[in-house]
Chain A
């Protein structure tokens, strides 16, 4: 299972764009990169997943360079409610019965200030 490295914490102000970078130097060919968000005393929530280049959905963008050894989660115009822990995970996408486990690191505590 590929190991990931993220900053422990980040601060930002409301309305700013936030970029959280994750390093995964030993990512395997079949691995995808997935980001989860977690609020205190709640389960993690899927944000975005990608394999290469750029993926965008209604809440975030994910940038993956050609060597795939890192990735950057971009949150546009953050608000106070985006204060949470963000986890970067690397692995083969799940399918029924594939017995794939999610390996979480310590994540990045994002604090959005007014």
Chain B
């Protein structure tokens, strides 16, 4: 049983560009959350998707948007990239048939903005 998978592993973009990150949840999970982790800090919540809708959002600007597909996979889009967007982006899945309150994290996508 595959856990949470994310793609790509690493990404380098130029300031002002747009980026799309992808996440496939663990089998049986129906809820996906996205986090941003800057170097040396704990993960910060961006938003959460359930039933293809954004259910809650952290303190992030509208440049950060997302989507959840019928198969529960999700995308994180960031527009007009800033140097400060350089971070590890983590996807976490939970809920569904698992019946567990635990959130499972993927390995993350390392985004570097130059």
Tell me, yes or no, whether A103 is within 8 Å of chain B by CB: yes
Q: Is the interface of A mostly helix, strand, loop or mixed?
A: loop
Q: B101 to A94, Cβ gap below 8 A?
A: yes
Q: Which residues of A contact B101 (CB under 8 A)?
A: 32, 49, 93-95
The distance in angstroms between the C-alpha atoms of A42 and B110, with both chains bound, is: 10
Q: B88 to A94, Cβ gap below 8 A?
A: no
Q: B31 to A104, Cβ gap below 8 A?
A: no
Q: B31 to A96, Cβ gap below 8 A?
A: yes
Tell me, yes or no, whether A29 is within 8 Å of chain B by CB: no
The distance in angstroms between the C-alpha atoms of A44 and B35, with both chains bound, is: 11
Q: Which residues of A contact B4 (CB under 8 A)?
A: 43
Tell me, yes or no, whether A99 is within 8 Å of chain B by CB: yes
Tell me, yes or no, whether A54 is within 8 Å of chain B by CB: no
Q: Which residues of A contact B105 (CB under 8 A)?
A: 43-45
The distance in angstroms between the C-alpha atoms of A45 and B90, with both chains bound, is: 12
The distance in angstroms between the C-alpha atoms of A72 and B28, with both chains bound, is: 32
Binding site for A on B (CB under 8 A): 4, 30-31, 33, 35, 41-45, 48, 50-51, 55-56, 58, 88, 90-92, 94-96, 101-108, 110
